[in-house]
Amino acid sequence: MTDHRTVCETALETMGAFRSPWLRAAFRTIERTDFVPDRIWLITADDEGTYPLVDRAGDESAWLAAVWDPHRSVAIQLDDGDVAATGPASGDFTSSVSAPDIVFEKLNHLDLEPGHRVLEIGLGSGYHTALLCERGAQVTSIDIDPDLVDAATARLKRAGYPARTVRGDGLDGHPANAPYDRIIATASVRDIPDAWREQAADGAIVLTPFNTAFADGGLLKLRAQDGVLSGTVVGSASYMPVRAHRWHHRLPSPDAYVQSASPVDPARVLDGTWAQSFALGLRVPDIHRTCRTGEDGRQAQLWDTGGTSVTVVAYAGWSEEGAVTQWGPRNLWAEVVAAYTAWRTSGQPHVTRYGLTYDDTGRTLWLDAPDKPVRLPPDQ
């Protein structure tokens, strides 16, 4: 029989996931299977768009393989708990036990020391919390879902970990235990809430999966000093968004529109690497995009998060009048193209050269250093 735990450890070792020495000991000490429900969904849809359910009682080998898979998360909740774990299902994943590779990669960036006061945003199953506790941190973990809080609290108690668990909105932090030396999120955000900045001690690290409306999947590491958070994108991390940062389309009036040609092939702008898309997303922080192929061919749809404007761009015949259709006051495609041109002109910098600063005046994007701010559309 395959020793899935050993396979997982070997994979993590090969990836350099234990470069912070305490992580190897934590991996070996904590029994991951104690923090995963007996019924889980695999995050791989079948041909009918449903996600297979793996039941430990019915197929323990398959369950263990899923739990210890070093590169894949397993879902423990769909549609905020409205879908019962009784069989294959469809819906939106709203809680998971994250894959070991990204869990340990994130923790390497946290620079965690014994005694640190840690605020964890997203209690989930409790596995990540147990890792923090194993380091000797004083952990306050918050989750918005009461059922998840109750289940994870029970698991942590059985395992002997003294984390303080709280039911609440993680975007508000938890001022009762502030200030914190480390703030780490296990769900993605599109912006850093003021509460995290206000509850971070001087010298604190804030580490969170970070999305833009345009592209998901960044990992942002900020340092706190004198009420200011500043730092860089240090890599990629694909996580479910916090509930308040889920995307919802809002449509402007469809009665009036303007048509024009595109100055560039949309494929050049929209079909690049993840790093390109994320860099553009940092430059157009309030523009969301989707792509679809229908009877009229392939199209990109752009939406602004304020719900004022929509722009549709046709791939075929992109240089012809009518390829771009704009509803509302903003030509979102022109803004995206301006961001693309500015990114190309600046030498196509990788996402890890970008940083963000949060202070009392708001948010500033910069390239290479905080004193080199990036101009954003429509001015760039």
The CA distance from 271 to 311, in Å, is: 17
Closest CA to 8 of 95, 67, 85, 68: 68
Supply the angle between the helices 127-134 and 146-159 in degrees, to the nearest 10: 40
Phi, psi of 282 (to 5 degrees): -65, -30
**First-residue to last-residue Cα distance in the chain:** 59
Residue 98 designated active-site: yes
Is the Cα torsion angle 151, 61, 95, 117 positive or negative in sign?
positive
Reduced to 3 states (helix: H, G, I; strand: E, B; else coil), residue 224 is strand
**Given the structure tokens 């939406």, which residue do they identify?**
303
Task: Report whether 107 contacts 127 (CB < 8 A).
Answer: no
- Catalytic-labelled residue, pool 96, 98, 262, 277: 98
Beta bridge partners of 51: 89
Residues annotated as catalytic are 98
